[in-house]
Structure 1
Amino acid sequence: MTKLPPGFTHELVQHIQLEPTPDEVLGVPILNFDHFCCGAHGLSVLIETELGRGQDVQAFTTLFDTGPDQFSLVRNALGLKIPTEKITRVVTSHWHSDHTGGLLSFLKLRKGQAQARVGSPDEQTPCIVDVHPDRPTARGIAPRPNYDTVICALAIDPTFKEIEEAGGLVEKHAEAHAVAGGTVWVSGEIPRVTEWETGILGGSRWVDGAAGEKGRWTAEPHIMDERYVVVDVKGKGLVIFSACSHAGIINVIKDAIAVLQRPIFMVVGGLHLAGPEFSPRIPPTVDFMSKSLRPAPAYVLPMHCSGFQSKIALEKAFGEGCVPAGVGLKVNLVANDGAEDHMYPPVIA
């Protein structure tokens, strides 16, 4: 119910639009809370992009990550009546199960909905699953104070074989590439250049042993398979989707600017600033985004692993430009042709 900027829509409004049939007695639609979205500790963003105008417009639908479990994404897609057969590509940010946990159940839902609406399997458009080739056997968590003892493993990510058996067409990419008709850019490896973004303390990776040898846990603070996604909105600038920012959100921003030479309009996703070990990173992160980067982002949507303290600091720096974001939120960005000639390259002070 929080006030949102123009172009942002709460889930409540969307459900009113999705339930147009009035009740016979009351004369108005009744909201069914069984159809409302369910939040979970993970991330999944549906990105709809358009290229061109009028009769020549091309539309693309890309899913960025799939949440942490087999239930949440399916429930939310059904509740918001998403035509999943229109999603032709899933991009996974990295191999952590809070971002890949819903992949197989999504592919099965999409396959079933496509079968019902399209008919023959031969007429169905395949769903590409865009992944980094370096899939670990497992990843674990080693907590403070020493970050040297793994206490649990994350749920195992889907294997390439499981993805294909569920109906996905696996594409492995370690390098940056454009998808969705060139409207969505998927990054390659993110350079680590800032002094304070030093990885994820306690990040661990299982290394399989050679023949006859036991496997072992090894420290893996940098999560080098992480990727982010960018959409360049004409007349506005770059919209960055950073699923977890294990590399550090400023490293992400700096890489996007270096590669694309465009200003940052909006930052969406997990900033990985939650918890006492990350709190020292909040001031330099917020200062860079609000003071050193020119122009500064118009909007920041901290989600997932961003943490409460970072949201307070970002709200103080950006005011209403720091938007409370979560499951069910819809953002509509329209290109501004007239502003394009007046857009200058970004400057980092």
Structure 2
Amino acid sequence: MPSSESSLGLRSVDSSNRLVITFLVDNTLEWFTKLPPGFTHELSQHLQNQNPPLKTHPVTGVPVLDLNEFCCGAHGFSALIETQISGEDAHLTLFDTGPDSLSLVRNVKALQVPVDKITRVITSHWHADHTGGLLSFLELRTGSKSECIVDCHPDRPISRGMARGAQPNMIFACLPDDPTFEEIEAAGGVVEKHAEGHAVASGAVWVSGEIPRITSFEEGIPGAKRWVEEGGRGQWIDDELILDERYAVIDVAGKGLVIFSACSHAGICNVVRDAVTKFSRPIHMIIGGLHLAPADSAVRIGPTIDFLSRQLIPAPNFVLPMHCSGFYFKVELEKALGDGCVPASTGMKVEISGDRELDRRLFPSTITIV
């Protein structure tokens, strides 16, 4: 029987509480597609909650959907995670901040997110499409009475770039620089550097350390480069493994693990293997970018789907392929999982309730990977 707290400090969300996820930045917008129970489109939230209040059309008298007050899509990822352990205060944790100074700020305003109550930001890794909105978010909190911890990996690169496969030494572009530790603190953030796994939010969220690379077909990102300096000289070196990448996980009683893997440079199979090994719990939901959109990742689509749908027993209840997952992967995943492949997007909300009694009655003591 699984305990309400693991040896690693992760505590499960139980029957008196719930996990609420709001997607603040993603590449796509989706207002109309059929969703499973517990999922709510942004459009429905505006209409049902009138938050912000909708204006009335002066002629027809019906509510006006002012698209200037709705979310926008952007190439990046950010999710707001609300957790609560029985008898304790709720925690709002931001997982990544999107790619720029505009999209996250616009979207938190559109969804009326109480930014002053977000007390921790987890950065999944040092890539600008995941950290680009960090400083603007912290500036949005200016004047807040609560501090905001920025939970990040200590190994921040000077710069990251990409080379073409046929020309491994030709760097065709680099990403904007990630915020420095000094810039984060100047904007009001409290830097916490973590290279090892650790629990946060009263133990409801566990942030991984380095992800073990054991899956044969998940060999990193071809052409990924990193700028290093030594002795007054700089150069590009190979950085295909992107070892600073981390995932986050929440355990919901009666459901299982909810995994946030913002870009899956390590490979989503490696991420899932590590989570299952550490917590011996079934996977309820996998969320985020699975990095199968690039053409050179196409060969991994079939083996990845086979792992998630057949080799992992029981299979995940839901997979939400977002950000860099790619159209072709989504199509093939839907064939394998049906309604378990959810078209999640910017502005969508997910509510997951815990059930301790169901956990005791139904869950296996071990998870199998064949």
TM over 0.5: yes
Listed as ranges, the matches of 1:87-126 within 5 Å are 87-112=118-143, 114=144, 124-126=145-147
Where 1:316 maps in the other structure, the secondary structure is helix
SS at match of 1:77: helix
Equivalences for residues 1-349 of structure 1 within 5 A = 1-16=32-47, 17=49, 18-20=51-53, 23=56, 26-52=60-86, 56-112=87-143, 114=144, 124-211=145-232, 214-341=233-360, 342-344=362-364, 345-349=366-370
Q: Secondary structure at the match of 2:64?
A: coil
C-alpha displacement of 1:27: 4.8
C-alpha contact (below 8 Å) 2:168/2:223 kept by paired residues: yes
**AA paired with 2:99?**
P
Question: For the Cα contact (< 8 Å) 1:10–1:328, is it kept in 2?
Answer: yes
Query: Cα offset for 1:251?
Result: 0.1
What TM-score results when the alignment is normalised by the length of structure 1? 0.93
Contact 1:271 1:305 in 2 (8 A): yes
- For residues 77-102 of structure 1, the C-alpha deviation after alignment (integer angstroms, 9 at most, x for no partner) is 01111010010000000000010000
Measured in 1, the distance between the counterparts of 2:183 and 2:64 equals: 40
Percentage of pairs with the same residue? 58
Return the offset for 1:148: 2.9
More strand by percentage: 2
- 3-state SS of 1:171 partner: strand
Q: Distance in 2 between matches of 1:222 and 1:332?
A: 33
Mapped to 2, the partners of 1:191 and 1:101 lie a distance apart of: 27
Q: CA deviation at 1:144?
A: 2.4
Q: Quick one: structure 1 residues 207 and 2, their matched pair in 2 at CA, closer, same or farther if it must change by over 3 Å?
A: same
The amino acid that maps onto 1:62 is: T
Q: Secondary structure at the residue paired with 1:312?
A: helix
Please list every run of 5 or more consecutive structure 2 residues that lacks an aligned counterpart in the other structure: 1-31
Q: For 1:22 and 1:203, how far apart are their aligned partners in 2?
A: 48
Q: Give the whole-Å Cα distance in 1 for the aligned partners of 2:322 and 2:111.
A: 20
Aligned pair count reads 334
Runs of 4+ in 1 over 6 A off after TM superposition: none
Separation in structure 1 between the aligned mates of residue 110 and residue 53 of structure 2, nearest angstrom: 14
Which whole-Å deviations, capped at 9, do the CAs of 1:176-213 have from their partners, x for residues lacking one? 000000000000000000000000001000011313xx
Retained in 1: the 8 A contact 2:57–2:64? no
In 2, Cα distance between equivalents of 1:179 and 1:337: 21
TM-score, structure 2 length as denominator? 0.88
Partner in structure 1 of residue 21 of structure 2: none
8 A Cα contact 1:174 1:189, kept in partner: yes
Q: 1:96 to 1:19 in 2, by over 3 A?
A: closer
Root mean square deviation of aligned Cα = 1.3
> Distance between the aligned counterparts of 1:46 and 1:9, measured in 2?
14
Kindly state the Cα deviation for residue 146 of structure 1 after the two structures are TM-superposed.
3.7
Q: Return 5+ residue gaps in structure 1 as ranges.
A: 115-123
Which structure's relative contact order is higher, taking Cα pairs within 8 Å and 6+ residues apart? 2
Aligned residue identity for 1:244: C
Answer whether contact 1:68 1:102 (CA < 8 A) is retained. Answer: yes
- Residues of 2 paired with 1:22 and 1:217: CA distance? 53
| Partners of 1:264 and 1:152 in 2: CA distance | 37
Question: 2:148, 2:290 → 1: CA distance?
Answer: 28
- Cα distance, 1:15 vs structure 2: 1.3
Partner of residue 120, structure 1? none
Aligned residues of 1:62 and 1:87 also touching (Cα < 8 A): yes
Give the deviation of 1:294 after TM superposition. 0.8
